Amino acid sequence: MAKRSRKKRISSFFNKKLNRLARRAKLQPIAAPSPLLVGAEGLQTPQKVAKKKAGSRLWMLFDRSGKSEVTELDKTAIIRRACIPARDLRILGPIFSHSSSIIAREKAIVVNLEFIKAIITADEVLLLDPLCNEVLPFVNQLRRQINLNSRSRARENGYFDSLGKTMSPNGEQWLQNENGEIERDLPFEFRVLEVALEFVCTYLDSNVCDLERDAYPALDELARNVSTKSLERVRGLKSNLTHLLARVQKVRDEIEHLLDDNEDMSQLYLTRKQIQDQKFEALLASATLNSLVITPNLGRLNSHVRGSSGFVNYYSGDNSVEDMEMLLESYFMELEGTRNKILAVREYIADTEAYVNFQLGNQRNGLIQLQLFLNIFSFAMAVYGMITGFFGMSIPCSWFYEDGIFGPFILATTAACLLIFLLLLAYARWKKLLGS
């Protein structure tokens, strides 16, 4: 009985304790779960978790004045800074690392050419992975080019400033050289795109030159002496040639696609669109302040809706794409020349392979003729052996007992076999089965 009463007291004590804890839980607010995660490396702070989720990468920023800065930016910061959709960042990712594309957006140009992955705006350039060994020469060349062409902004009144520079209403920049002559200066995005295309074309052309320097001696050696080593070397060169031709063809096709569409080329004029948008906004603001009707005053402004992008661009009456067309055509011709060099090497490889096949076929024909010659000789010797075998049998014959018959018989048998050999050989030559 004492044990039962003790158990009842203990159970009633725990029941009271649980009831108190339940009432306290109802009164207290529920605490938010801790953002700390436990992994293989121990506790991770919320900042580290957010940073890993964002997937920040190393970028280099160039502005108009040539100032550069290396920083880590995540996808959200890049999208907000360049005003591009998130899908464009996939083009710069590792999945499309071997593709070539130049895509124009409302306020940026997404460039993916070989190892150059950049986002060009009207005021700055965002270059991905600038510390790679292949990208570092491009970074140095871009820095020199920007510093060489960096000028202060032009005055809005259209007169030349102290650096001899002005800007037209449609975004074209003009320079006054030392002789007082006026020269056209390309916009910032054009200069960056020109440096990128020039660097890629030069890089591909240097690879083609290296391929030519290695291919022609190897092919000549293969033509002189067909061996396993020379065949393996030519096989590697042919594989490199196919890969290099595909890379050149991708860049060439992308430039050709832009040249075929004037609308796509007009979208590459970021500076002109920026100035036109600013003037249109200023016109709207002034019209709103003065309570004027702006519809009659906008006769020279039209709107063009890009259905694929979902935004509206405002253009002036001058929508010429002559500068971009000349720029793209020059590098298209350069890539066409590089492609022709690769095709010439491939044609030389095909000619060498045909020549080697002719040599091997000639050797194969020689072996077949030799085999036929030996077969004819073997047939004649077989007749000689058959006659010898007949007389080697243990059969009674009166010639065995005659004197002086062995020598003439051997000579006659040899002459008969030789005659059979010559007749068969003449028949083979008559049928042109053997060479002359």
Question: What residues does 175 pair with on adjacent strands?
Answer: 165, 183
Of the candidates 115, 134, 153, which is a domain's last residue?
134
Looking at the domain assignment, is residue 1 inside a domain? no
Q: Confirm whether 147 is domain-assigned.
A: no
Q: Whole-angstrom Cα distance, residue 294 to residue 304?
A: 18
> Residue 92's domain is classified under what CATH number?
2.40.128.330
- The pTM for the full model equals 0.67
In a domain, 366, yes or no: yes
Range of the domain at 126: 48-134
Within-domain flag for 118 = yes
Of the residues 134, 169, 185, which one is the last residue of a structural domain? 134
Across 17-21, 361-365, 386-390, 413-417, least confident range? 17-21
Residue 127 lies in a domain: yes
Which of the 8 DSSP states describes residue 362?
H
- Which of residues 428 and 307 earns the better pLDDT score? 428
CA 138 to chain centre: 17
Which residue, 156, 143, 150, is CA-closest to 60?
143
Find the Cα–Cα–Cα–Cα dihedral 296, 302, 306, 312, rounded to 10°. Answer: -50
Res 162 pLDDT > 60:
no
Over residues 22-49, mean pLDDT: 42
Per the domain annotation, does 9 fall within a domain?
Answer: no
Query: Same structural domain for residues 58 and 125?
Result: yes
58, 112: one domain: yes
The answer to whether position 210 is within a domain reads no
Task: Give the per-residue pLDDT at 114.
Answer: 86
Angle at CA of residue 103, ends 189 and 60, nearest 5°: 55
Regarding whether 127 and 62 lie in a shared domain, the answer is yes
* From 9-13, 205-209, 343-347, the region with the lowest mean pLDDT: 9-13
Look up residue 31 and give its DSSP letter.
Answer: P
C-alpha span between 215 and 344 (Å, rounded): 11
d(CA 59, CA 120): 13
Q: How many domains does the chain have?
A: 3
Q: Are residues 68 and 117 in the same domain?
A: yes
Please name every residue paired with 116 in a beta bridge, in sequence order, or none if there are none: 113
What's residue 26's pLDDT? 46
Given a cut of 60, whether residue 95 has pLDDT beyond it is yes
Last residue of a domain, one of 116, 134, 152: 134
